Amino acid sequence: MSEGLLSLESTQPSQSEGHASSVPSVPVIEAINLTRHFVVGQGLFGHGHLVHAVEDVSIAVAPGETLGLVGESGCGKSTLGRTLIRLIEPTRGRICVEGRDITHLRAFELRPLRRRMQIIFQDPFSSLDPRMTIRETLLEPIRIHRLHGNKASQETAVHQLIERVGLKPEILGRYPHEFSGGQRQRIGVARALSVQPRFIVCDEPLSALDVSIQAQIINLLLDLRDTLNVSYLFISHDLEVVRYISHRIAVMYLGRIVEIGPAESVATRRLHPYTQALMGAAPIAEPGAPPRRRVVLAGDVPSPLDPPSGCAFHPRCSRAKLGKCDREVPTLQTDGDSAHQVACFYPGS
């Protein structure tokens, strides 16, 4: 087993501590009925087709909290993350940052708030400008937002940033192509931190990295979260990683959140049949753990160009009942008196 993985296992946080079960009255970021549609295939005389990428999503992230977001490819996870920080404009709904509605702010009004919302991209190489040194990459956002006063203070800040992510200041004069994938992702993390954000979208930040390097980046993100009180929306296909790093987990299917709650509750109870299928297919990280009950899904994921009526999952669901699931859209409902919510007419573990 790699050194990185040993480190990951030895520092696992308790999901019962911190922000796992509640969201304060003023979240760092909040989406209310957020919707994003795209028009594709629009020709000179045609009207194109509407892609339902994100549909009526309401989520909130607390200070210092990690909300994990899981789902199959194409379910709208990355679109949701980018819409939250207005890299993509919403079609409908509202976005609030620390209680302030930013949905319709113009570019110059939004610019001061960009400091509070950052993103770490999936591919650390393509997200870095190959013509800029690492020093220039880190200095650019600092200067745009006029942080740290004079040039000497800015240089000091850059040195502190690069050391905070586990690299040495000697690398600041080098270019992105001179680094490994793990080092480039650390640089991407440093760039996101350079403007002192309160909220970071981590858009599949591990998928391009080796397993041992993934563990090191996870430990880095956990340390930064705990020391800086920064919040994450952590998007990933790796369900065990999401379970490990997150206080809460949201499960997304065809643009909608179908289950959300404390990480351990979602991972172990799995009230939605789609969550059961996802969790059952994930590899078991603990040696000797009992096998999971597998739920085999019928058919393929429906196209967001033509989503099913009613519950989007009903064509693949063994519990679906005609006249109900194919006609009505289930909304998130609290399971008993817990913080665990599920959008299903017939939930059950």
Give the model's pLDDT for residue 102. Answer: 96
Query: How would residue 346 be classed by pLDDT, with cut points 50, 70 and 90?
Result: very high
How confident is the model at residue 24, as a pLDDT? 47
Contact 63, 97 (CB under 8 A): no
Q: Is the pLDDT of residue 106 over 90?
A: yes
Dihedral of alpha carbons 80, 221, 217, 151, sign = positive
Quick: pLDDT tens for 299-323: 777 888 889 999 999 999 988 999 9
Model-wide pTM > 0.75: yes
Backbone phi, then psi, for 75, in 5-degree steps?
Answer: -80, -10
| pLDDT score for 33 | 97
pLDDT for 336 equals 76
pLDDT tens across 11-39, in order? 344 443 444 444 446 899 999 999 999 98
pLDDT score of 291 more than 60: no
Longest Cα–Cα distance in the chain = 69
| Region for 159 from its dihedrals, namely left if φ exceeds 0, alpha if ψ lies in -120 to 50, beta otherwise | alpha
Alpha helices in the chain (DSSP H): 3-10, 77-84, 107-110, 134-144, 151-164, 181-193, 211-228, 239-245, 263-269, 273-281
Strand order in the sheet with 341-342: 117-120, 199-203, 231-235, 66-70, 248-253, 256-262, 341-342, 333-334
| pLDDT on residue 293 | 57
Residue 79 has pLDDT above 80, yes or no: yes
* Predicted local confidence at residue 296, as pLDDT: 63
Burial of 271 (0-12, 13-18, 19+ CB in 10 A): buried
Average pLDDT of every residue of the chain? 87
Cα angle 341, 345, 348 (rounded to 5 degrees) comes to: 65
> Taking each helix axis from N to C terminus, what angle separates 211-228 and 181-193, rounded to the nearest 10 degrees?
20
* Mean pLDDT of the 32-51 span: 83
Q: For the chain, list the strands marked E by DSSP.
A: 29-40, 49-61, 66-70, 92-97, 100-101, 117-120, 199-203, 231-235, 248-253, 256-262, 333-334, 341-342
| CA nearest neighbour of 95 among 50, 54, 53, 145 | 54
Q: What is the pLDDT of residues 135-159, one digit of tens each?
A: 999 999 999 999 988 999 999 999 9
Rounded Cα gap, residues 20 and 88, in angstroms: 28
Q: Reply yes or no on whether the pLDDT at 60 is more than 60.
A: yes
pLDDT confidence band for 278 (50 / 70 / 90): confident
Distance CA 266, CA 341 (A): 9
pLDDT in tens, 207-263: 888 888 999 999 999 999 999 999 999 999 888 899 999 999 999 999 999 999 999
